[in-house]
């Protein structure tokens, strides 16, 4: 088999379901925006700042990792800044060969300059639309769906859920909750999830990253999540072997084809996996869970969708067949309408990989 290079991976279409807007800024943009608003950074050299972010995120704890967001969120407080960051996000993903992406952010974190929640969403959605149009002109079309995140330690989830539904026809395709898991179970936000279900809306929940099975169980069986943000600790309910033995929760997740939004580099940084080679993605793929590959925070992890796939190729020896499988899994699990998903799978993804798989 011919080795797959990073450059080859950039060229093939990829689909991404779990990417944070405030975790993917260009370092140079942070420096410029920080200068405009007088926000102090650890360094104003873009290259050094990029290194600072990855090093701070490499400390091994989710809480420390979340601290790096103080700087990115600080420079995303005006409509102009939000629009620019979203536009550049679309362009960067498209340049990396991503043809479909769901990018999430928490509107409640962008109100320091007195924007309303609706103005925040409008600015981001406009930025994605502008970036997608520029990318299409440059020959790299990308479709972006926006997910609105509520912070799990806060008490605004119902308000954010209503905001998401209000913007469902202009680019918002789903809802999410994020933030430190310990002490903040998803069941605190049951009202929001029940509201979303009554509205026939889609949502994913950050669960089973730093925290174990109870968090995954609550997200699915109490809250009704369509997908699991990470969900990597589902391996705690699997006894490896030949054959592996699945507990009732792991069996349910696999039987129901509940998508796992796995983020290899991010999981290693937060200590949810010891290394890429030790990442449960290998086992979960072998057991045919609905596994997807994601970036989480491109800036903090110094990564991209192509890099995540290249790391998996290196660690597990995957070929184009496996990369296509991850990509189609993600596209099948997207929150946009079924006919649109099918079109991207049949007209964009399958033809490109068919040439490589032969
Ligand atoms: Zn995340």
Residue 220 contacts residue 255 (beta carbons within 8 Å): no
Strands 238-239 and 245-246: antiparallel
Q: Is 20 annotated as a binding residue?
A: yes
Listed residue (291, 292, 288, 213) closest to 244, CA to CA: 288
Q: What's the pLDDT score for residue 212?
A: 86
Query: CA–CA separation, 216 vs 154, rounded Å?
Result: 20
Which residues, 6 or more positions from 87, have their beta carbon under 8 angstroms from its beta carbon? 127, 128, 130, 131, 134
Answer whether residue 1 shows pLDDT above 80.
Answer: no
Secondary structure (3-state) at 294: coil
Answer whether residue 61 shows pLDDT above 70.
Answer: no
Residue 6 contacts residue 310 (beta carbons within 8 Å): yes
Distance 252 CA to ligand 1 centre (A): 23
The CATH class of 6-357 is alpha beta
Listed residue (224, 225, 352, 238) closest to 288, CA to CA: 238
Q: Is 167 annotated as a binding residue?
A: no
Alpha-carbon separation of residue 357 from 41, 307, 332 (angstroms): 46, 20, 20
The rounded radius of gyration (Å) of the Cα atoms in the chain is 19
**Per-residue pLDDT tens digits for 163-211:** 999 999 999 999 999 987 777 888 889 999 999 999 999 999 999 887 7
Residue 179 contacts residue 151 (beta carbons within 8 Å): yes
Distance 329 CA to ligand 1 centre (A): 18
Of the residues 108, 181, 209, 261, only one is catalytic, namely: 209
Distance 178 CA to ligand 1 centre (A): 7
Distance 116 CA to ligand 1 centre (A): 24
Q: Other C-beta atoms within 10 Å of 267: how many?
A: 24
Q: Which tokens hold the place of 61?
A: 């704890």
199 is catalytic: no
Q: Is 179 annotated as a binding residue?
A: yes
User: Which of 49-63, 186-200, 326-340 is predicted least confidently?
Assistant: 49-63
**Per-residue pLDDT tens digits for 97-138:** 999 999 999 999 999 999 999 999 999 999 999 999 999 999
Query: Helices H, strands E: what count in the chain?
Result: 18, 10
The 8-class DSSP code of residue 201 comes to -
Query: CA–CA separation, 69 vs 257, rounded Å?
Result: 32
């Amino acid at each position: 088999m011919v080795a797959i290079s990073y450059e080859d991976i950039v060229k093939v279409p990829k689909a991404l379901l779990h990417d944070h807007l405030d975790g993917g800024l260009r370092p140079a943009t942070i420096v410029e925006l920080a200068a405009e608003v007088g926000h102090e950074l650890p360094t104003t050299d873009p290259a050094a700042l990029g290194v600072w972010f990855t090093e701070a995120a490499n400390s091994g704890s989710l809480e420390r990792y979340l601290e790096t967001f103080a700087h990115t969120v600080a420079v995303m407080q005006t409509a102009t800044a939000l629009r620019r960051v979203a536009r550049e996000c679309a362009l960067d993903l498209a340049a990396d060969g991503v043809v479909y992406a769901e990018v999430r952010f928490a509107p409640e974190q962008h109100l320091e300059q007195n924007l309303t929640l609706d103005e925040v969403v409008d600015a981001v959605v406009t930025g994605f639309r502008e970036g997608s149009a520029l990318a299409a002109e440059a020959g790299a079309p990308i479709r972006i769906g926006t997910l609105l995140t509520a912070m799990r330690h806060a008490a605004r989830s119902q308000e954010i859920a209503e905001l998401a539904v209000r913007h469902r026809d202009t680019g918002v395709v789903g809802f999410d909750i994020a933030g430190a898991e310990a002490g903040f179970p998803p069941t605190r936000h049951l009202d929001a999830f029940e509201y979303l279900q009554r509205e026939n809306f889609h949502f994913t929940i950050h669960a089973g990253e730093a925290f174990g099975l109870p968090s995954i169980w609550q997200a699915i069986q109490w809250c009704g999540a369509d997908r699991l943000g990470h969900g990597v600790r589902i391996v705690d309910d699997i006894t490896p072997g030949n054959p592996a033995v699945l507990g009732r929760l792991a069996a349910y997740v696999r039987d129901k084809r509940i998508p796992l939004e796995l983020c290899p580099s991010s999981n290693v940084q937060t200590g949810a996996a010891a290394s890429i080679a030790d990442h449960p993605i290998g086992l979960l793929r072998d057991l045919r869970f609905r596994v997807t590959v994601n970036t989480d925070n491109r800036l903090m992890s110094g990564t991209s969708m192509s890099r995540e796939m290249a790391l998996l190729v290196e660690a597990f020896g995957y070929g184009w067949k496996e990369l296509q499988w991850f990509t189609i899994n993600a596209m099948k699990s997207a929150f946009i309408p079924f006919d649109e998903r099918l079109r991207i799978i049949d007209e964009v993804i399958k033809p490109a990989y068919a040439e490589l798989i032969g």
